[in-house]
Structure 1
């Protein structure tokens, strides 16, 4: 008897919530319920986003996209063609600006190009470190770059946090440690 009473109360509560939502047009949390006329707009104007958003101004772009997915619409997937890959890889590896690669490929975005390069596991050449204005630090950073080390690795080896990544002042302990690791030394030159 106890189980059937609880089921009955649960059923009544559900019916009460449904009546409330039909009456107000909102869920219990206050969100608008999707009406059949709104889903008809999505079905009629799919995939013209500006037209859909213009006709549903009270809905966010994310809500419209979620409802479109729930209805069964999926965004258009544009597959990479083999000739596009062949045209993208050499300039990407050469370090040409991404804006130039976008022009070469035509209808691909920067994000798509970076994503494809990541998928193909190709990298752009590393950029040399920018000068800091501290000659000895610049020489150490350039030497580490020439040997293929990152500034983060150099910081780890000398026991500093982001000193060589973004140096702001001279740190003699970090500099002497880096010179030992990179096989260098300081030579004093006296100018008369």
Structure 2
């Protein structure tokens, strides 16, 4: 067992590193610089972290991840502007992805494909939605079907964001706020009608 409180260890603590592996195991050892063959291995095997850690057992997951970022092999995530997403949504109904990419500056076809896939744009609605058997839900589904909207688009327009309609979450219990927002987003009004005895 290593005594981390000894004067020798305290004096040279900056050279020691404590980290964790991909499996959650703790590792302790001396901090070493990266050798060229290790960096080349990261370049060749990225993004297969388990394979890299099998070959470099003395490196932690976080050290490998940091080195991959410094070497520039990590693909950075793209941040999409709201105006670009809205433009792609409008164009996706009538244009192909290559046509959309040519109309929007600094956009490539694979980026347009990613946005369309992520947000579910341009999909043709199914032949009617599967009915729920709950009158207010059925009314929302019928209205969305009339407007040619997918259930993902209904959730987005209503500002729900939790896939209430697309995930059929009403089956776990009705949520009045989500229903009201969907009705208003689809151009309807919500009111109560009482039956007299």
Normalised by the shorter chain, which TM-score bucket?
Answer: 0.3 to 0.5
TM-score (norm 2): 0.38
Q: 1 or 2, which has the higher strand percentage?
A: 2
TM-score by length of structure 1 reads: 0.38
Compare the two structures and name the one with the higher helix fraction.
1
